[in-house]
C-alpha cells in the first residue's frame, strides 16, 4: 500500500446530456474511492440548493378535497403535478407566481407568468386538463429556496390560511451512481479511481452540483481540522525539474530571490516535517533562514530529525 495520500484530480468529465455527466477522479488512496464516492453521493442527494413550490391556492377552492368545475383533475392530482415543476431562482427571496388558463385544453408550465428572478425549467410539464370551453383555472404558487426534502409538518414558514401547503422537494439532483476501479501512479498499483455519474432536473448542471457538494464537504471538514494541514505529495520528476532549473551554473540576484521564495510544500520534505513547518507559519525557504538551528528545534512538532532533513534538502539546493 502506498504511504502517500495523493491529491486527486478530475481527469475527465463525460457529458452524456445537458442534465447527466460522469466525473472521473484519480488517483485516490486505497479505499478512498468508496469514502469519497459515498460522501459526495449523500451530499448531492440531500444538500444541494434548489427551489420548489411550498404552497398554492386555486381560485374558487376552499380546501384540497374540492373538485374544480370544468377541470378533469381534482385538487390532490393538481397538487402532485405542481410538485413536478422545476425552477431556477436567482436570489433567496420568496416568490408568488400566477398560473392562468381559460378554455378547453392542456394546462402546462407555459401558462405560468414568471418574473425576472424565476425561470421555469420544464415548460411542457402538465399540471391539469380543462375539458370545458367556459372553464377557467387560476392558481397562485409560492416558490421558495431550500435544500433536500421538507414535509408540511417541518415547514416553519407561515402561510396564508387560504393556501394549501405542499411537501417541498428542493433537491435538483435526481440520481447519483458511483463505482470504484483500480489505477496506478508510478510504482503504486493499489490506488483507486472514482467514477461518479450525476443526473439533475435541469435547474442546475451536473458540474455545478458536483462542485457545490465538494464545497459543502470542504467547509464541514475544514471546521474540524483546525490549523492542521496535510501537504500533498509532489511528483519526484516534477520536483527534480524545478531543482535543476534552480541549480543553473550561475544565479543572478533575481534567481536567488525566486529560489528563496520557494514554497516549503515544493521541497518534497516528509509530510510530518512539512506540516510542522507550515503549522508554525514557515511557508518559504526565506522563512527558514530567519531562524537558527536552536529556534527551529524549539518549534512545535519539529525535532532533530526534521532539522537534519531540512539541512540535507538545503544542501541539495546549494543553499
CATH 1.10.150.20 domain position(s) in the chain: 236-316
Q: To the nearest 10°, report the CA torsion of 260, 266, 268, 273.
A: 70
Per-residue pLDDT band at 194 (split at 50, 70, 90): very high
> CA angle, 185 as apex, 183 and 191 as ends, to 5°?
40
CATH 2.170.120.12 domain position(s) in the chain: 49-169
Assess whether pLDDT exceeds 80 at residue 147. Answer: yes
How far apart (Å, rounded) are the C-alpha atoms in residues 311 and 319? 9
As a whole number, mean pLDDT of residues 144-148 equals: 91
As a whole number, mean pLDDT of residues 202-231 equals: 89
Assess whether pLDDT exceeds 80 at residue 28. Answer: yes
Assess whether pLDDT exceeds 60 at residue 244. Answer: no
Answer whether 0.75 is exceeded by the pTM: no
* The three three-digit cell numbers of residue 236, written as one number: 519526484
The per-residue pLDDT for 156 is: 58
Assess whether pLDDT exceeds 80 at residue 200. Answer: yes
Which of residues 207 and 314 earns the better pLDDT score? 207
pLDDT single digits (tens) 262-286: 888 777 777 778 877 887 888 888 8
Per-residue pLDDT band at 2 (split at 50, 70, 90): low
Which of residues 70 and 300 earns the better pLDDT score? 70
The per-residue pLDDT for 304 is: 76
Cell 520557494 sits on residue: 262
**Among 1.10.510.10, 2.30.40.10, 2.170.120.12, 3.90.110.10, what is the CATH number of 49-169?**
2.170.120.12
Assess whether pLDDT exceeds 60 at residue 254. Answer: no
* Domain covering 9-48+172-225, topology: Gyrase A; domain 2 (3.30.1360)
CATH 3.30.1360.10 domain position(s) in the chain: 9-48+172-225
Assess whether pLDDT exceeds 50 at residue 298. Answer: yes
Assess whether pLDDT exceeds 60 at residue 252. Answer: no
Per-residue pLDDT band at 253 (split at 50, 70, 90): low
The separation between the first and the last C-alpha atoms of the chain, rounded to the nearest angstrom, is: 35
pLDDT single digits (tens) 104-113: 999 999 999 9
pLDDT single digits (tens) 111-145: 999 888 899 999 999 999 999 888 999 999 999 99
Mean residue pLDDT of the chain comes to 84
236-316, which class in CATH?
mainly alpha
Per-residue pLDDT band at 296 (split at 50, 70, 90): confident
Per-residue pLDDT band at 251 (split at 50, 70, 90): very low
pLDDT single digits (tens) 9-18: 899 999 999 9
> What sign has the CA pseudo-torsion 123, 128, 130, 136?
negative
Residues 282/300, Cβ–Cβ less than 8 Å:
no
Assess whether pLDDT exceeds 80 at residue 56. Answer: yes
As a whole number, mean pLDDT of residues 239-249 equals: 47
Which of residues 192 and 184 earns the better pLDDT score? 192
Q: Determine how β-strand 168-169 pairs with β-strand 164-165.
A: unpaired
Which of residues 154 and 55 earns the better pLDDT score? 55
Max mean pLDDT range (140-144, 247-251, 255-259): 140-144
As a whole number, mean pLDDT of residues 228-235 equals: 63
Amino acid at each position: 500500500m502506498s504511504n502517500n495520500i495523493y491529491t486527486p484530480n478530475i481527469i475527465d468529465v463525460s457529458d452524456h446530456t445537458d442534465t447527466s455527466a460522469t466525473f472521473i477522479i484519480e488517483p485516490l488512496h486505497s479505499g478512498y474511492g468508496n469514502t469519497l464516492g459515498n460522501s459526495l453521493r449523500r451530499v448531492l442527494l440531500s444538500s444541494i440548493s434548489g427551489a420548489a413550490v411550498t404552497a398554492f391556492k386555486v381560485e374558487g377552492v376552499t380546501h384540497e378535497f374540492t373538485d374544480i368545475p370544468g377541470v378533469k383533475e381534482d385538487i390532490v392530482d393538481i397538487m402532485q403535478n405542481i410538485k413536478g415543476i422545476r425552477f431556477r431562482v436567482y436570489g433567496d427571496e420568496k416568490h408568488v407566481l400566477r398560473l392562468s388558463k381559460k378554455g378547453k385544453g392542456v394546462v402546462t408550465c407555459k401558462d405560468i407568468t414568471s418574473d425576472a428572478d424565476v425561470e421555469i425549467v420544464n415548460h411542457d410539464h402538465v399540471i391539469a386538463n380543462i375539458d370545458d370551453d367556459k372553464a377557467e383555472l387560476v392558481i397562485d404558487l409560492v416558490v421558495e429556496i431550500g435544500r433536500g426534502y421538507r414535509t408540511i409538518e417541518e415547514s416553519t414558514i407561515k402561510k396564508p390560511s387560504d393556501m394549501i401547503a405542499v411537501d417541498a422537494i428542493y433537491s435538483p439532483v435526481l440520481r447519483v451512481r458511483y463505482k470504484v476501479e483500480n489505477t496506478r501512479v508510478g510504482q503504486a498499483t493499489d490506488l483507486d479511481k472514482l467514477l461518479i455519474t450525476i443526473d439533475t432536473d435541469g435547474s442546475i448542471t451536473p458540474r455545478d452540483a458536483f462542485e457545490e457538494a465538494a464545497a459543502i464537504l470542504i467547509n464541514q471538514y475544514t471546521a474540524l481540522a483546525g490549523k492542521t494541514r496535510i501537504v500533498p505529495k509532489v511528483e519526484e520528476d516534477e520536483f527534480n525539474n524545478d531543482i535543476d532549473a534552480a541549480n543553473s551554473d550561475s544565479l543572478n540576484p533575481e534567481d536567488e530571490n525566486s529560489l528563496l521564495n520557494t514554497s516549503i510544500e515544493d521541497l518534497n520534505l516528509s509530510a510530518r516535517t512539512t506540516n510542522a513547518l507550515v503549522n508554525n507559519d514557515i511557508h518559504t525557504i526565506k522563512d527558514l533562514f530567519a531562524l537558527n538551528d536552536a529556534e527551529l528545534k524549539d518549534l512545535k512538532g519539529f525535532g532533530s530529525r526534521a532539522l537534519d532533513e531540512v539541512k540535507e534538502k538545503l544542501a541539495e539546493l546549494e543553499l
